[in-house]
Amino acid sequence: MGKYAVITGASSGIGVEFARRLAAKGYALVLVARREDRLKELAVRLGKKTECEVCVADLTQRAECEKLCGWLADKDVEVFINNAGFGDCGQFVKTNLDKELDMIRLNVAALHLLTKRMIKRFEERGGGYLLNVASAAGLLPAGPYMATYYATKAYVTSLTRAVAQELKEAGSRVYIGCLCPGPVDTEFNEVANVEFALKGIRPGYCAGYALDLMFHKRKTVIVPTLLMKFASAGARFLPVKVAVAAAGIQQKRKARQ
């Protein structure tokens, strides 16, 4: 088979839609997630269009991240989508510590490791595309009642912007960007224990928009909706205290009682 696209968190939501659209572009796929049954079901559906391989991995564990990198060593990977991640909502002193530490391991540590490994591979290859799935939360100064989640996504956007600048200054052909959507209609709500106050966008639209701006415009920070673009831009002109308080009001409304 030819060039591969790898999608982490491929068992649901935006990950599934990335897989569908990359399959339609002719990429062989490596689908990565913890839920083997869902990955196999997706591989069967997409296998009519392209080659699909399933890699069951718990990316909260460093050894599993390293195993994935080793497994990809003999494949010509051109696209890597760092999509795996989750959130949680609630007052910081009351939220579950173990869940938060797993969130940090997945949203930050695993993404960091995979980004470093794949960027090095793409540099050796002479090009490639790496997209980190962040959040509009990562463009704001902080998010009371989703404190850990906002902090992890701020890490993702900061890391991505910095690496993108380094690559630009080096004249590299490697692309890195981050997708920063607002609410998306996925299973995120159930895992994070929230109900979005704003209407979510379709995951298919989100993935398609991101790939278009990645492939054709090589945009570093991708925000899929005008509302989120205005919100994130507007927050930069507010005093930090006001922006944080406003975010807290919004997140408190989301929390399921």
> 174-221, pLDDT tens digit by residue?
999 999 998 777 655 555 455 555 567 899 999 999 999 999 999 999
On whether the CB atoms of residues 160 and 177 are closer than 8 A, the answer is yes
- Nearest Cα neighbor of 201 from 136, 246, 254 is 136
Q: What residues does each domain of the chain span?
A: 4-254
| Distance linking the first and last C-alpha atoms of the chain | 50
Which one from 4, 145, 150, 153 is the annotated catalytic residue? 153
Which one from 4, 129, 145, 149 is the annotated catalytic residue? 149
Fold of 4-254: Rossmann fold (3.40.50)
Taken in order 9, 14, 18, 20, the sign of the CA dihedral is: positive
On whether the CB atoms of residues 17 and 206 are closer than 8 A, the answer is yes
> 45-96, pLDDT tens digit by residue?
998 889 999 999 999 999 999 999 999 999 999 999 999 999 999 999 999 9
On the CB side of 127, CA atoms within 13 Å amount to 4
> 231-252, pLDDT tens digit by residue?
565 556 556 666 566 556 566 6
Residue 149 annotated to the active site: yes
